[in-house]
Every structure is written in C-alpha cells, then in structure tokens.
Amino acid sequence: MKNYMYILVMAVTTYLIRVVPLAFLRKEIKNRTFRSFLTYVPYVTLSVMTFPAILEVTERTWISVVGFAAAMVMGYCRVSLFAVSMGCCLLVFLLQVL
C-alpha cells in the first residue's frame, strides 16, 4: 500500500509541475533575466542528476574523478560528444583493469 502512495504523490507532483506553468503563463515571458534562467534549467538539471552517478560508478572514486577531468578537458577542446563519451569510458575501463 505504501508503494502506491509513493506513486500517487509522484504522479500528482509531476502533473502539477507541468500543468501549473501552462495554466498561469499564457503570454510570452518578456523578462530577459527570467528567460535566461529558464534557458539554463535543463542543463543544470541534467548536471545535478549526472554528477553523483559519475562519482559513484566505480569502486575507487579517484578513477571517476580522472574520467570526469578527462571529459572536461576534451569538452573544453571542443571534441565531439561521442568521442568524449567513448574516450572517457575507455579511460575509466583501462584504469579499473590496471
């Protein structure tokens, strides 16, 4: 029964998060600061969900940190997303095997 309550609460929360802005914000948002804030929300959300998983994916945290640092350097150098993900996966795999 407890699990159904959790599912119900999550369903209502998700529904409200999507319906409330749609119901109350019918006209275009003209405030530049607020529009800029809304532009970055998806990126921040993805980062907040991804970063803890990066640190906990390996048995030794230092391997995860090295992989993350390599991804940051490759991203800064404008390497493609596919190359960054493959390179970091390979690096972390090799560090774990060795």
Domain span at 6: 2-97
Distances (CA, A) of 37 to 21, 28, 43, 48: 15, 15, 11, 16
State pLDDT tens for residues 18-47. Answer: 888 778 777 888 889 988 988 898 899 889
Q: How many domains does the chain have?
A: 1
Total length of the chain? 98
Q: What are the CA-CA distances from residue 93 to residues 48, 57, 86 (Å)?
A: 23, 11, 10
CA–CA separation, 71 vs 86, rounded Å? 10
Can you give the pTM of this predicted structure?
A: 0.63
Residues 6+ apart with CB under 8 A from 64: 54, 55, 56, 57, 58, 92
Question: By three-state DSSP, how is residue 60 classified?
Answer: coil
pLDDT tens track for 2-12: 899 999 999 99
- The tens digit of pLDDT for each residue in 42-88 reads 899 889 999 999 999 899 999 999 999 999 999 999 999 999 999 99
Task: Give the per-residue pLDDT at 19.
Answer: 86
Task: Write phi, then psi, for 48 (nearest 5 degrees).
Answer: -65, -35
